[in-house]
Structure 1
Amino acid sequence: MKRRLTIGALALVVAAGLADLLLPPDLGRLQAVSVVVEDRVGRLLRPFASPDGTWRMGAEPSQVSPLYLSMLREMEDRRFGWHPGVDPLAMIRASAQMVSHGRVVSGGSTLTMQLARLLTPKPRTIAAKLTEMARAVQLQMRLGRDGVLAGYLTLAPFGGALEGVRAASLAWFGREPDHLAPAQAALLVALPQSPERLRPDRNPVAAKAARDRVLDRAAKAGIIAADVAASAKQDPVPTAMLDMPMAAPHLSTRLAAQATGAVVRTTLDGTLQRTMETLVEAQSRFWPDNADMAVMVVANDGRRVLAHVGSAQWRRCQIDLTRAVRSPGSTLKPFIYALAFDDLSLHPATLVVDAPRRFGAWMPRNFDQDSHGEMPVREALQRSLNVPAVQALELVGPARLATLLRQSGAELAFPPLAEPSLPLALGGVGMKLADLVMLYAGLGEDGRVRKLAYQAGQPADPGTVLVGQAAARAVLRILEAAPAPPGMVSANVARRGRAIAFKTGTSYGFRDAWAIGVSKDYTVGVWVGRPDGVPRPGEYGLATAAPMLFQIFDQLPPETGSRPPSSQPDHALYHGVPPLALARLRPPDDDAGGRDTSERPRLLFPLDGAEVEPIGAGIALMAQGGTPPLRWLANGRPLSPGAEFWHPDGPGFSRLTVVDGQGRQASASIRVVTPP
């Protein structure tokens, strides 16, 4: 007898397995859920409707209030977890009640049977009920207790386009279902019983009555105390659906469109993100001319984007202005000087003359339309003077600057058929806020530029070295001492022990106002302007964007310490006095103050912009003019005295400089190529 029972049990198991294999349940609706975008710790930023237009957000039992789950089991399936998907006792009880009362008093459907019906809705017939029972057993075997419960929590209807307890809790209460008050939990248990008839925004009386019945049942079962139930009954039911959360809407929309799964975990800090959105929206109310703002906050460690505000109001401007191509104004000047420092073509204490000067047919002027005479390079950068910056770019080479920025990952937009030229120093190119923030964060990591990370788990970018550590730190030290915005005292920053290296910029015609700042731990970028590019006279970077930059830094956590010591503490850039050859930057037509009218040195080979293939001895070095002795530098490093050839380390861009006995110099940016 025992053997026959064992064989029969095995036969049933085999038959059930074959049935499950041949007639698997359709779990398509469980897979067609809303894409949800979360912050770095899993807090919801923004959900998106599922493909069929419903709000159907996946939910696990661990994401839902234990109080709600207890009330749910009490009302819908007391023996859930103890039966195989069908509860015979509940079926017998329901049948007996129907016979004795002549109507349906209570249902016999388990949560598993309800899930089967939600997965494949069918007309309520005897045949459909039997199919539902068979599917319930199958689902219980396939998904297990927690899987079945997760399916119900995801698909249960709550009125309108709401499916699942997460969507319902957000729409009716504006909160996740992990912590629910008794009245809220009871309403969410009651609604699926008749989701349209009990919708509280349409029939609040019926909804309240249904909720109160759940509270009474919970009190009777000992789930909540009687006085708690009585107090909960006094709470009003919601009378309108709330909008779904919409934090970081621009970034969320972009990431959701690229998503391959239902959950997108970002690097954003949800609390900081909402603080930034509130700050930007409040500031935008003071602008009557439809101006807008974009903000990015990045953690220098790992380049994690902590906050992303694409515009002040999503409903007014759905363009992600952090990715809009605009003129960067003067914000590229730090990189010009950083390259010149890296080459040792300039030193922070090199004297430059800010005076009117023509560069071909172009004569740039300062923002204040004035000239300020002789001063050190550091002051010229702090005051964002234009003529010295163009002179520095003349040394560095606009093509070289553009190439290095592109190699670092930045996109530069020039007019069709246009080549990089000297106006690049003053914003003669199109760039994105996101790329500028990426480049400035590179200065914060001693010159190594890495791609920004928007998603958690994104592979680390090895990055590209734009300039060396000494050059990057020299620029940051200069910008840390830049004048604060008008009427702005950096006491808030000082209180937090935070040194901020910041640069502002204003594009031609006052169309764009920029401010970008770097501290040890953070990089912040702010853009202000009109999305349509209409000028805003009088609105410039230092007055319009910089105050917001300082406000944002004041919202950030304190710095974790100071920068580590330099790996090259004796580098010439850290000395207060420049080398003799870098004491003064003279324009090409300068006669050295009348002390020597000899010809300035000039390069005969290689020429600026040339592609050069080394021969066996290296690359020949030829110069003419100047006061002897002539000294050569390759990429800022001195060559041996009297050098006639240079051996490059490999292919790529390099800069050769010849300096005469009076410190006058000539340079060429070349590209070293190797034979195929």
Structure 2
Amino acid sequence: MRHRRLLAGLLLLAAVPAGALALDRAFPPDLSRMARNAVLVEDRAARPLAALPAPGGVWRLPTAPEDVPPHLLAQLVAAEDARFWRHPGIDPLALARAAAQWLRAGRVVSGGSTLSMQAARLLEPRPRTLRSKLVEMARAVQLEARLGKRGVLEVWLTLAPMGGNIEGVRAGALAWFGREARALHPAESALLVAIPRRPEALRPDRHPAAALAARDALLRVRAARATGVTQADRDVAAAVPAARHAMPALAPHYARQVARAGLFRTTLDAPLQQALEAMLAEARASLPARVSTAAVVLDLRTRDIRALSGGAWGEEARAGALDLTLAIRSPGSALKPLLYALAFEDGQARPDTLLDDMPRRFGGYAPENFDHGFTGRVTAADALRRSLNLPAVALLDRLGPLQLASAMKRAGVLPRLPPGAEATLPLALGGVGVTLREMTGLYAALADGGRAADGRPVVQPRAAAQVAAILTRPFPGGGPAGVAWKTGTSWGGRDGWALGFDGRHAVGVWVGRPDGTPMVAATGGATGTALALPLLARSFALLPAAPRPDAPRTPATATARNLSDRLRLVFPPAGVEITDGPVMLRAAGGRRPLTFLVDGAPLASTLARRDADWRPDGPGHYRVTVLDADGASATVPVRVAPVAFAGTPPPQTPPAGD
């Protein structure tokens, strides 16, 4: 008999957990609210970039215990569930105390709820009845068994109501303090612990006195003993927030694209993005009606996007919902730098080659310049800088349009032509559809020795460097120095482009109407030069200065031989003042052949030599550059003093060298 009773007892003990397991599987907790969250897209340094609300417009962000400061967790446990770490989900002592208070007062004084029971109620809201309380108690034990203490905290931290359509500590921190929860001060944390008790009655924007009292009471009576909160901590926040902060909303077009792809960390830089958006918004106020802007900033080393503005988000008249960095538009003359680089690479021209800018027919095609005039004979460098059309078409006629189209594809630019059409000579003047993102990538390739984002060569380094030297010049209206830039205007003034690069970034700016109709002429005309180029200059002003072109790119431990091989100008030295006429320029290091340029214009020289003769046009400041066969460059500023230039005095000779 005794053995039978023992066996029956063992079977009963085994049946209890088995029954509990069966009930857990039959009635699992509903965790669906934890999956319906807002999305927070971050920048490259994990700073908030843009938040996208959950269904229903609720701001609810997943919040783990690791996302909040330790003092907030300590305050929460001290204020809401002092024995949280010791009970299995329900606290018998708290329930007994609540029952005794109820009997004495004849009403509910405290509910005896644990954090686990609160988490159950947040997951499955129910009317506040005795039956609901019993269900919450059962669910609390179930949640502890399934999720553990950390999981229960995550439920509370994610779903706790923070007033209005704000739920959870991370969303509450962003809404009430404008920053991530991990950066909260103890007094700020205390407010977020207090608000969920009465979310609407303790909203600091509507009931500041009540919110302040609840926060201070929590600090003073409960949290201070457990967390070591001092009076100095309480004094830091003498008041509570008077208004909600707007949720992060930078790069709205790009943030939605990456979120749809399941990515929540971007390569953008939030401070730069904010500055770029503010600059473009200010500029749009003075642009013609319905004209919008778009801009892209690329890191040359990684080709990562550092900032991107797709348009006038929120401005219906400017089609703000469209990402205009992906719009297919005609680039106008902005393709010419690639064309000239190909011509230099192919041997069709050098920067100092003379080209004809005069009326000419190419079969049935008779291009004209933008001003309908002609210049005559010009160097290739001047033709590119002045964006003359006839020399560009003539070069493409020699190269073949397919060669330019193929180079575009290597650079990541997809030439979009009418169905069934092939690349023809108008390609030289922008007769093709491209996007701003693609064109910015193309200029990044020219800046990076002719190398595409995937590492494939687009053009030879020397040809890319020659184009870069030609296009490096001051901005007409002022701006950072050392930037190579080019503009473009599509037919009819529909698109204004300005693209450029320095030693660190490539930047593209587009101005136009989203519907593709011609822009109304603004001051200076509806052109890339008038509308987009000033924005390009202002964009580069937002960026950190690029390293000097002649700065050595060698590690600190470089050997003497490494340094001696570096391309450099032996004469003239940087900042030298020249007081006589003809000057002999001399370079050392680098790999021949070398090309010498003054203010971007190439000088005649023998390819095998390391020197070239230069006669300044007159007094003033000049920039002397030398390029080698690998695309390396060195540049120095030179001042020519105002002396008489008549006669031909003996040329200055640089010091002896290799």
How far apart, CA to CA, are the structure 1 residues paired with 2:312 and 2:187? 36
Q: What per-residue deviation string (whole Å, max 9, x for no partner) do you get for residues 328-356 of structure 1? A: 11110011111222222222222212222
In the alignment, which of 513, 519, 525 is matched to residue 535 of structure 1?
519
Q: Which residue of 2 aligns with 1:247?
A: 250
Q: What per-residue deviation string (whole Å, max 9, x for no partner) do you get for residues 284-329 of structure 1? A: 2233534322111111122100001112444442211111122211
1:569 equivalent to 2:587? Answer: no
Q: Which residue of 1 aligns with 2:619?
A: none
User: Deviation at 1:542?
Assistant: 2.8
Once the two structures are superposed, the pairs formed by residues 193-204 of structure 1 within 5 Å of their partners are 193-204=197-208
In the alignment, which of 380, 393, 397 is matched to residue 396 of structure 2?
393
Q: Which residue of 1 aligns with 2:305?
A: 305
Contact 2:500 2:507 in 1 (8 A): yes
In the alignment, which of 491, 495, 499 is matched to residue 508 of structure 1?
491
Of 345-354 and 3-12, more deviation after overlay is shown by 3-12
Q: Which residue of 2 aligns with 1:279?
A: 279
Amino acid at match of 1:380: A
Of 65-74 and 336-345, more deviation after overlay is shown by 65-74
1:295 match: secondary structure: strand
Change (3 A) 1:14 1:152: same
How far apart, CA to CA, are the structure 2 residues paired with 1:509 and 1:244? 41
Of 215-224 and 99-108, more deviation after overlay is shown by 215-224
Once the two structures are superposed, the pairs formed by residues 63-212 of structure 1 within 5 Å of their partners are 63-212=67-216
Query: Percent identity of the aligned residues?
Result: 45
User: Deviation at 1:215?
Assistant: 3.3
Q: Which residue of 1 aligns with 2:651?
A: none
1:484 equivalent to 2:484? Answer: no
In the alignment, which of 40, 63, 66 is matched to residue 36 of structure 1?
40
Q: What per-residue deviation string (whole Å, max 9, x for no partner) do you get for residues 246-269 of structure 1? A: 00011112222332xxx6111101
Contact 2:117 2:139 in 1 (8 A): yes
Contact 1:113 1:135 in 2 (8 A): yes
1:345 match: secondary structure: coil
Of 373-382 and 411-420, more deviation after overlay is shown by 411-420
Q: Which residue of 2 aligns with 1:466?
A: 458
Q: What per-residue deviation string (whole Å, max 9, x for no partner) do you get for residues 390-417 of structure 1? A: 1111112123322332354323333344
Q: TM-score, normalised by structure 1?
A: 0.75
Q: What per-residue deviation string (whole Å, max 9, x for no partner) do you get for residues 116-154 of structure 1? A: 121222333334323322322232233222222122111
Contact 2:212 2:239 in 1 (8 A): no
Change (3 A) 1:563 1:6: farther
1:544 equivalent to 2:531? Answer: yes
How far apart, CA to CA, are the structure 2 residues paired with 1:67 and 1:181? 9
Of 563-572 and 274-283, more deviation after overlay is shown by 563-572
2:485 match: secondary structure: strand
How far apart, CA to CA, are the structure 2 residues paired with 1:69 and 1:219? 10
2:239 match: secondary structure: coil
Q: Which residue of 1 aligns with 2:367?
A: 364
Q: Which residue of 2 aligns with 1:352?
A: 355
Change (3 A) 1:573 1:141: farther
Q: TM-score, normalised by structure 2?
A: 0.77
User: Deviation at 1:573?
Assistant: 7.1
Contact 1:47 1:244 in 2 (8 A): yes
Change (3 A) 1:6 1:224: farther
How far apart, CA to CA, are the structure 2 residues paired with 1:62 and 1:392? 62
Amino acid at match of 2:446: L
2:90 match: secondary structure: coil
How far apart, CA to CA, are the structure 1 residues paired with 2:500 and 2:279? 17
How far apart, CA to CA, are the structure 1 residues paired with 2:430 and 2:12? 83
Contact 1:215 1:229 in 2 (8 A): no
How far apart, CA to CA, are the structure 2 residues paired with 1:422 and 1:137? 76
How far apart, CA to CA, are the structure 1 residues paired with 2:315 and 2:144? 45
1:428 equivalent to 2:431? Answer: yes
Q: Which residue of 2 aligns with 1:554?
A: 541
Gaps of 5+ in 2: 1-5, 555-565, 568-588, 597-601, 608-658
Q: Which residue of 1 aligns with 2:339?
A: 336
How far apart, CA to CA, are the structure 1 residues paired with 2:230 and 2:104? 31
How far apart, CA to CA, are the structure 1 residues paired with 2:398 and 2:155? 66
2:332 match: secondary structure: coil
Contact 2:291 2:519 in 1 (8 A): no
Of 396-405 and 425-434, more deviation after overlay is shown by 396-405
User: Deviation at 1:157?
Assistant: 1.5
Contact 2:331 2:433 in 1 (8 A): yes
- Count of matched residue positions in the alignment of Structure 1 and Structure 2: 555
User: Deviation at 1:432?
Assistant: 1.0
User: Deviation at 1:106?
Assistant: 2.3
How far apart, CA to CA, are the structure 2 residues paired with 1:115 and 1:315? 41
How far apart, CA to CA, are the structure 2 residues paired with 1:220 and 1:171? 25
Amino acid at match of 1:534: P
Change (3 A) 1:108 1:349: same
Q: Which residue of 2 aligns with 1:521?
A: 504
Change (3 A) 1:315 1:181: farther
Change (3 A) 1:47 1:381: same
Contact 2:333 2:489 in 1 (8 A): yes
Once the two structures are superposed, the pairs formed by residues 401-480 of structure 1 within 5 Å of their partners are 401-450=404-453, 462-480=454-472
Contact 2:475 2:537 in 1 (8 A): no
Q: What per-residue deviation string (whole Å, max 9, x for no partner) do you get for residues 394-448 of structure 1? A: 1121233223323543233333443322122112222211010111111222222
User: Deviation at 1:70?
Assistant: 2.6
Of 380-389 and 10-19, more deviation after overlay is shown by 10-19
User: Deviation at 1:576?
Assistant: 5.5
User: Deviation at 1:484?
Assistant: 2.6
How far apart, CA to CA, are the structure 1 residues paired with 2:178 and 2:135? 38
How far apart, CA to CA, are the structure 1 residues paired with 2:526 and 2:230? 64
Contact 1:511 1:536 in 2 (8 A): no
How far apart, CA to CA, are the structure 2 residues paired with 1:81 and 1:444? 59
2:182 match: secondary structure: coil
1:54 equivalent to 2:58? Answer: yes
Of 410-419 and 73-82, more deviation after overlay is shown by 410-419
Change (3 A) 1:9 1:145: farther
How far apart, CA to CA, are the structure 2 residues paired with 1:466 and 1:360? 29
2:307 match: secondary structure: strand
Contact 1:37 1:265 in 2 (8 A): yes
How far apart, CA to CA, are the structure 1 residues paired with 2:364 and 2:300? 42
How far apart, CA to CA, are the structure 2 residues paired with 1:505 and 1:148? 59
Change (3 A) 1:432 1:117: same
How far apart, CA to CA, are the structure 2 residues paired with 1:233 and 1:426? 61
How far apart, CA to CA, are the structure 1 residues paired with 2:532 and 2:215? 52
User: Deviation at 1:523?
Assistant: 0.7
